[in-house]
């Protein structure tokens, strides 16, 4: 069964409620370099990234190590906040939904979840995906049958390992956990 290495991006240079698409903080670049050193012996593998700057920058050291480029995949991107929501309101909104179960969430977010899981289940070969806090929680929840939106706090550049099959996702190893500025 193919393995999916889900990597959370490195520490961003700005808070999610202060910037739509921040780049990595200096610490985030260092985290990405360390992650690349850990992952490099496993590849080269297909490398996928969310389209946001912090995930692309996190994937870059691994792409260099493997002499490749990360393919951009919208479906593994950040959970979308409601249209027209002010940046300052996003953190409170995210904290609210983080305490819910997927069945309690509006249809547009359930659709985002379905698209994310479809992207993961299309996996035919081992691959690395650089993504986001809620996306990784969504994948692990699907693999473990946990319907909560958030049930663990993946650390920056943590590596969560799943297996994909026609039966669904299976958790092999949960990435390291850490405090989060989000919740």
The pTM assigned to this predicted structure is 0.95
Q: In the chain, where are the structural domains located?
A: 3-173
Distances (CA, A) of 92 to 5, 19, 67, 110: 30, 15, 40, 19
**Dmax over Cα atoms in the chain, in whole Å?**
43
Non-local (6+) Cβ contacts of 78 within 8 A are 50, 52, 132, 134, 135
pLDDT in tens, the chain (183 residues): 999 999 999 999 888 777 788 999 999 999 999 999 999 999 999 999 999 999 999 999 999 999 999 999 999 999 999 888 888 888 899 999 999 999 999 999 999 999 999 999 998 899 999 999 999 999 999 999 999 999 899 999 999 999 999 999 999 999 999 876 555
Torsion-angle region of 148 (φ positive above 0: left; ψ -120 to 50: alpha; else: beta): beta
The CATH architecture that domain 3-173 belongs to is: 3-Layer(aba) Sandwich (3.40)
């Amino acid at each position: 069964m193919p393995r999916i290495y889900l990597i959370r991006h490195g520490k961003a240079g700005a808070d999610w409620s202060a910037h739509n698409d921040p780049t990595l903080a200096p610490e985030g670049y260092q985290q990405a370099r360390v992650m690349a050193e850990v992952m490099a012996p496993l590849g080269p593998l297909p490398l996928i990234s969310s389209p946001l700057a912090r995930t692309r920058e996190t994937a870059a050291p691994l792409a260099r190590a493997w002499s490749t480029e990360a393919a951009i995949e919208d479906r593994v991107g950040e959970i979308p906040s409601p249209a027209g929501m002010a940046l300052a309101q996003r953190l409170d909104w995210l904290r609210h939904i983080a305490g819910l179960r997927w069945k309690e969430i509006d249809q547009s977010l359930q659709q985002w979840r379905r698209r994310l899981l479809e992207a993961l289940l299309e996996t035919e070969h081992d691959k690395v995906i650089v993504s986001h806090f809620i996306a990784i929680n969504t994948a692990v929840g699907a693999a473990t049958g946990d319907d909560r939106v958030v049930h663990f706090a993946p650390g920056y550049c943590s590596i969560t390992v799943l297996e994909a099959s026609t039966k669904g996702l299976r958790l092999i190893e949960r990435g390291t956990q850490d405090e989060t500025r989000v919740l």
